[in-house]
Amino acid sequence: MPKHAKKDFPVTKVRRFIEPGPVVLVSSQYKGERDIMTMGWHMIMESSPSLIGCFIWDQNHSFNLIRRSKECVINLPTFDMVHTIIGIGNSHGPAPDKFAQFKLTAAPASKVDAPLIAECYANFECKLVDASLIKRYCLFVFEVVKAHVATTPRYPTTVHYRGDGVFMIAGRNVSYRKQFKRVNL
Ligand SMILES: Cc1cc2nc3c(=O)[nH]c(=O)nc-3n(C[C@H](O)[C@H](O)[C@H](O)COP(=O)(O)O)c2cc1C
């Protein structure tokens, strides 16, 4: 007997099953103007160098700031920030300034001009390394050039978007480390 009874499913909605990555807040700055957007569509493309592919819709104000400045910060918020995550995703720059609107602290980065969001668990300073897919797919390939990560807890309570306004909250962790081939760790 098959494990699951299945039915036809709209291909436009399969993303809900393969969007496990945490929702992040992307901060950017260009010529003194700054912005923040919520982002769920991203993927790891390489670990060394540390490459992350990000879908940034061209209708977002952040798209222009990031394309022009060629950099951004990917900030990792936690569940306690869920209303901020949604609020930022519901609003568009350039005004009002989202740092002020959502009472977030802009901290200086070390390798990019875009500000870090101090309230987030982690901040990854990124430089655009491949712009060739932006026009066709709104896909930015970034290299993380500096990472700031909280020392505790080890596994932050991140939120993961499942579509339709539903989030999965990071939960139980189980380690199967001993069963892994070293190269896959
Ligand atoms: C949970 C969630 C996930 C989102 N993921 C993305 C994404 O991956 N890419 C994107 O371009 N917009 C995404 N958005 C929409 C942007 O966050 C939204 O358009 C934002 O307001 C853009 O702000 P800006 O115009 O100031 O740049 C998401 C919104 C939410 C609430």
Closest residue (by CA) to atom 29 of ligand 1? 89
Ligand 1 center from residue 92 Cα (angstroms):
9
161 lines ligand 1 (CB under 6 A): yes
| Substitution candidate for ligand 1 out of 30, 60, 69 with most atoms within 8 A of CB | 60
Q: What is the pLDDT of residue 64?
A: 98
| Residue with the two structure tokens 């003194």 | 32
Q: What is the pLDDT of residue 19?
A: 67
Mean pLDDT by 10 residues, the chain (185 residues): 82 76 97 97 93 97 98 97 98 94 98 97 96 98 95 94 94 95 91
Question: Could you report the per-residue pLDDT of 124-150, keeping only the tens digit for each?
Answer: 999 999 999 999 999 999 999 999 999
Closest to 13 in 3D by CA, of 162, 169, 170, 168? 162
Q: Across the chain, which distance is largest between two alpha carbons, in Å?
A: 62
Q: What is the pLDDT of residue 13?
A: 78
Distance, CA of 127 to CA of 179 (rounded, Å): 35
